[in-house]
Amino acid sequence: MIYQRSSALFTEAKKYIPGGVNSPVRAFKAVGGDPIFVKKAKGAYLYDEDGNKLIDYIASWGPLILGHAHEPVINAVVEKAQNGTSFGMPTEIETELAKLAISMVPNMDKIRFVNSGTEACMSAVRLARGFTGKDKIIKFAGCYHGHSDSFLIQAGSGAVTFGSPNSPGVTQGTAKDTLLADYNDLAGVKELVQANKGELAAIIIEPIAGNMGCIVPTEAFMKGLRELCTQEGILLIFDEVMTGFRLAKGGAQEVLNIKADIVTYGKVIGGGLPVGAFAARTEIMDFLAPDGPVYQAGTLSGNPLAMSAGLAMLTELNNNPEVFESLAKKAEYLHKGIAEVLTGKKIAHQINRYGSMISVHFTDEPVVDFASSAKGNNETFKKYFHGMLERGVYLPPSAFESYFLNDALSYEDLDATINALKEIDL
């Protein structure tokens, strides 16, 4: 494939935008080469500025469950935009989306809309600190909760790709209140809790991780976290920016049968537009301003365009829950096909999958946490990524990212993906 225009656009972008991109993973630093500039997308396909058609496995990093430019979502946004794009005042559609979202998820009474997953997680931690009167939090190595200072302590995804998980600009004062644990290591968490007895406001976790590849928690680990938080008066925060409304109507809380105290959302809840949200039971949410002392605000929070896209998306998912099973079956089919090809090529690999999230790791050891994820052969991954790209398949340009399937993908697309892998010399 030819990418002359994408390369020229990247060269131009670097003159005016740091690194030529507005989010670091897009720069292809982890895989080499120049990033692809997208012109348009429809269904399961991306169309770049050079006219190439690509099968898409990132779905804008998760939200486009039903595919790109899904007609009901586009129509809802266009219709709403004709009445104005932003007011900084309440609108009825905010309540409509809140009511629907709360009806779909277990254990949540109220929700506050914000503008990104970062903002949702940042606000959730502030709320937890205000509610408990405690300062410290525990996060897990390789879990990414946005680029707020509190979270850039060995984060996954882009932070790992660039080799600076403890980002310059994060103060020691901020870092000391963020304690780091290993995913799937309950004993390690218990040690941290005991060493900081009575000081912890919250434990925040991706309940199914997506920023060190797709990492699935053990049942004992997740149940143990819930029991520990209950015993110690610590709030358990589920970062469901990726998993919320993707794995099931009720997200990870539903599929894992674990009740969190606060849940953060993003991605899907905006149908592809910038949005985030956090939810909790009434006694916690009532600590937020204007009812309570914990301040959080935003001019664009509850933006009518994002709310209309989210309402259209969640309405379809609520009315057609079979989409979750359809996506899971497609992910399983892709998993089996990739595994068969890599086994036949005698390439060491691990494939992790949960629902419509999946990741391929070039290692012979099980991938259960950040450390085991980091052992993957990155040189093999680069060959894999570029080999697939040359054959019209767009994968996440980092070994530390989950794939996100969309239901517009056909089994012909999945077969084309598997056949593309057969042609690559790894």
What does the pLDDT look like over 122-151, one tens digit per residue? 999 999 999 999 999 999 998 988 887 777
Confidence of residue 39 (pLDDT cuts 50, 70, 90): very high
Scanning the structure block, which residue is given the tokens 């997740």? 222
Catalytic annotation, residues: 144, 239, 267
Confidence of residue 175 (pLDDT cuts 50, 70, 90): confident
pLDDT beyond 80 at 163: no
Helix (H) or strand (E) holding 328: helix 322-344
- For residue 2, what pLDDT is reported? 79
pLDDT beyond 60 at 289: yes
Better-scored residue on pLDDT, 36 or 151: 36
> Whole-angstrom Cα distance, residue 298 to residue 290?
13
- For residue 148, what pLDDT is reported? 78
pLDDT beyond 50 at 162: no
Out of 29-43, 171-185, 333-347, pick the least confident.
Answer: 171-185
Confidence of residue 166 (pLDDT cuts 50, 70, 90): low
DSSP conformation class of 274: S
DSSP conformation class of 150: G
DSSP conformation class of 395: -
- For residue 155, what pLDDT is reported? 45
Strand partners, 239: 264
What does the pLDDT look like over 327-364, one tens digit per residue? 999 999 999 999 999 999 999 999 999 999 999 999 99
pLDDT beyond 50 at 156: no
256 close to 217: Cβ distance less than 8 angstroms: yes
Helix (H) or strand (E) holding 42: strand 38-42
- For residue 167, what pLDDT is reported? 64
The residues near 301 (Cβ < 8 Å, ≥ 6 apart) are 112, 113, 114, 115
> Whole-angstrom Cα distance, residue 328 to residue 346?
27
pLDDT beyond 70 at 153: no
Strand partners, 360: 351
- For residue 150, what pLDDT is reported? 72
Q: Name the pTM for this structure.
A: 0.94
CA-nearest of 401, 369, 382 to 180 is 369
What tokens appear for 200 in the block?
A: 């912890």
**CATH level 3 topology of 4-69+321-422:** Aspartate Aminotransferase, domain 1 (3.90.1150)
Strand order in the sheet with 136-140: 110-114, 276-280, 262-266, 235-239, 200-205, 136-140, 178-181
Domain edges within the chain: 4-69+321-422, 71-319
What tokens appear for 59 in the block?
A: 């779905």
pLDDT beyond 70 at 164: no
* Domain 71-319 CATH class label: alpha beta
User: Distance between the two ends of the chain, CA-based, in angstroms?
Assistant: 19
pLDDT beyond 50 at 227: yes
Mean of per-residue pLDDT scores for the chain? 93
- For residue 89, what pLDDT is reported? 95
- For residue 147, what pLDDT is reported? 80
- For residue 24, what pLDDT is reported? 87
Q: Where are the alpha helices (DSSP H) in 64-146?
A: 71-81, 92-104, 117-132
